[in-house]
Structure 1
Amino acid sequence: MRILPSFTALAPFLILLGSCVGPAAQRPVAQPAPAPARPAPAAPAPVPQAQPSPVAKEWQYRPVAPGSWRYRAEAAGSSAAFGSGVADAQLTLRCDRASRRVSLARAGGMAGAGAGTGQGALIVRTSYGAASWPATVSAGAAGQLVAFRAASDTGLDQLAYSRGKIAVEAAGQPMLIVPAWAEISRVIEDCRG
């Protein structure tokens, strides 16, 4: 007697055997050849030099005037002067402790005064906005337009806490843009303390 397994009895084993075979080996796919390098584009024809763009009109984007602030304690209070040297202050903030007033003096203020009246205004610009401060031509310092504020005036806080810069304008004078340094706060606090 011959014992040969029948084909039907082996069929389930053959199916399992077929599932044990790994995936068929794949042939590498041929990659397209790289495109030949393109020649660099020709340099454009030289363009005539354009005129420089106009300076930004917003005062915040203009540079500050050359110079620095100098603080000085005085018998009657204190002062902070901005300029390139001790003798040529362009802007001076002064505290008068006795009257509890702070003065802001802009050099060259004669042009900002009304005709023969000795009156004018300083436009003070800070990061909080602009304010017009009534001013007079100083009798003691020729050519200075001076505005006075009470030491408690909130306009002084705007000077002290302005972000980065302060601008002061007087009629007939170019805008003076100065850095908002700690010397300003010191003079104001001297008058309040």
Structure 2
Amino acid sequence: MRSPLRPALVLVALLAAGCVPQVAPPPVATPGPTPTPAAPPPPRPLAQDWRDWPRTPGDWRYDAATVVARYDAPDGRPLLTLACDRAARRITVTRPSVAAAAALTVRTTSTVRALAVQARAPADATSPIMLDATLAAGDRLLDAMAFSRGTFTVEQAGQSPLVLPAWAEVGRVVQDCR
């Protein structure tokens, strides 16, 4: 048997469904002005003792064929190069620089020495100036760099100091050049 109320209930349900208000989708936001990126925080001041300074990011690479040890930044830019001239028995320490030819100061756990440099013109307008300091292969500063406890620094006025690990590559270029 059919209930006489059933068609009336269906009709009421359909009418009630038609009374539900339709929600319009939110308006599409128009892009506003691009916010200016925040300036990077200023670098933290270095600790008073250089042995507590953070190591410069990067890695040493050694090429036995040319007797060159190179410390490269993570993006591949060379930060310091130790290159041997076997015929002259000399090692040239090279650092890219944006400043004039100011002396390089090498600091190890056993010694500190300023090195006179010669500026080399950049390869192109976008490359930095290269500063070269030449040492005899038997110079004790090279041994101090190779055997410094943990790290050594290469500093120049107007530039961030390089805090480099005293890894085997330094000793290899020195030993292979002697």
TM bucket, shorter chain: 0.5 to 0.7
The answer to whether the 8 Å contact 1:122/1:135 transfers is yes
Partner of 2:10: none
- Determine what percentage of the aligned residue pairs are the same residue: 44
Count the aligned residue pairs: 131
Partner of 1:106: 95
Q: TM-score, normalised by structure 1?
A: 0.63
Matches within 5 A, 1:177-188: 177-188=163-174
Question: CA, structure 1 residues 73+85, in 2 after alignment: closer, same or farther (shift >3 Å)?
Answer: farther
Partner of 1:23: none
Match of 2:108 among 126, 136, 144: 126
Question: CA, structure 1 residues 100+64, in 2 after alignment: closer, same or farther (shift >3 Å)?
Answer: same
The answer to whether the 8 Å contact 1:101/1:149 transfers is yes
The answer to whether the 8 Å contact 1:112/1:121 transfers is no
SS of aligned partner of 2:164 = strand
Deviations 1:41-81 (A, max 9, x none): xxxxxxxxxxxx9641221101101111000123xx41111
Q: Choose 1 or 2 for highest CA Rg.
A: 1
Matches within 5 A, 1:40-59: 55-59=46-50
Q: TM-score, normalised by structure 2?
A: 0.68
Question: CA, structure 1 residues 133+55, in 2 after alignment: closer, same or farther (shift >3 Å)?
Answer: closer
User: In the aligned structure 1, how far is the partner of 2:90 from the partner of 2:133?
Assistant: 10
Residue identity matched to 1:90 = L
Q: Tell whether 2:86 aligns with 1:97.
A: yes
Partner of 1:12: none
SS of aligned partner of 1:111 = coil
Residue identity matched to 1:72 = D
Match of 1:162 among 140, 145, 148: 148
Question: CA, structure 1 residues 85+129, in 2 after alignment: closer, same or farther (shift >3 Å)?
Answer: same
What is the CA distance between 1:85 and its match in structure 2? 4.6
Partner of 2:160: 174
User: In the aligned structure 2, how far is the partner of 1:84 from the partner of 1:160?
Assistant: 20
User: In the aligned structure 2, how far is the partner of 1:72 from the partner of 1:162?
Assistant: 22
Q: Tell whether 2:130 aligns with 1:144.
A: yes
User: In the aligned structure 2, how far is the partner of 1:180 from the partner of 1:136?
Assistant: 25
The answer to whether the 8 Å contact 2:122/2:129 transfers is no
Q: Which runs of 5+ in 2 are unaligned?
A: 1-43
Deviations 1:125-154 (A, max 9, x none): 000121011111124655111100000111
SS of aligned partner of 2:114 = strand
Partner of 1:71: 62
User: In the aligned structure 1, how far is the partner of 2:46 from the partner of 2:71?
Assistant: 24
What is the CA distance between 1:87 and its match in structure 2? 4.0
Question: CA, structure 1 residues 160+63, in 2 after alignment: closer, same or farther (shift >3 Å)?
Answer: same
Partner of 2:4: none
Q: Which runs of 5+ in 1 are unaligned?
A: 1-52, 114-119
The answer to whether the 8 Å contact 1:112/1:170 transfers is no
